[in-house]
């Protein structure tokens, strides 16, 4: 099992169905970085609590809203123009790289926040994902898929 959050995320994202589930979660407004962090914490055996969920949200929400979301919105806004214009396409790909970098930074900040949280033998993977997922039914199905895949993560 990867010890750092970024490696865990890359490995999990490569598993069947995870990319699609994450994209649907993202499209419905979920902060996928927090869900991936929750899956990582749950797999590591970190106990979930309301206080810890709050700490994750307090750290993640401003960065997500002020950095990740604006980059994602710009990239989406340029989608149509990039179809027929190579310069737009190149700029859009650059923005996509910035968006990924912003997500990686957020994951690094989340790892730093949680690095001293003790791990145990059994984790609260379900509690983490339920606590960090929004209430929409589709999000819950996708979060459940993340849970199933994370449990089997080597």
How far apart CA 73 and CA 69 sit, in angstroms, is: 6
Domain count, the chain: 1
Residue pair 151/43 in contact by the 8 Å Cβ criterion: yes
Q: What is the pTM of this model?
A: 0.83
Which residue reads 């149509």 in tokens? 80
What 8-state DSSP symbol labels residue 47?
P
125 pLDDT band, cuts 50/70/90, is confident
Mean pLDDT (whole number) for 144-151: 63
Mean pLDDT (whole number) for 40-48: 89
Determine the structural domain holding residue 58 and report its residue range.
5-151
pLDDT over threshold 70, residue 145:
no
Q: How far apart are the first and last CA of the chain?
A: 5
> What does pLDDT average to over the chain?
85
Longest dimension (CA), the chain: 53
Return the SS3 of 133. Answer: coil
Residue pair 39/146 in contact by the 8 Å Cβ criterion: yes
Question: What would the two tokens of residue 126 be?
Answer: 């379900």
């Amino acid at each position: 099992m990867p010890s750092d959050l970024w490696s865990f995320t890359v490995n999990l994202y490569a598993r069947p169905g995870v990319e699609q589930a994450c994209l649907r979660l993202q499209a419905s407004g979920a902060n996928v970085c927090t869900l991936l962090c929750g899956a990582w914490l749950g797999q590591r055996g970190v106990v979930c609590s309301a206080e810890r969920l709050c700490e994750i949200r307090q750290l993640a929400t401003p960065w997500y809203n002020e950095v990740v979301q604006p980059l994602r919105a710009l990239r989406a806004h340029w989608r149509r123009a990039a179809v027929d214009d190579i310069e737009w396409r190149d700029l859009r790909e650059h923005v996509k790289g910035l968006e990924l970098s912003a997500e990686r930074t957020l994951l690094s900040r989340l790892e730093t926040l949680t690095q001293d949280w003790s791990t145990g033998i059994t984790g609260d993977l379900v509690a983490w994902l339920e606590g960090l997922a929004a209430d929409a039914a589709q999000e819950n199905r996708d979060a459940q898929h993340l849970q199933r895949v994370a449990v089997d993560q080597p």
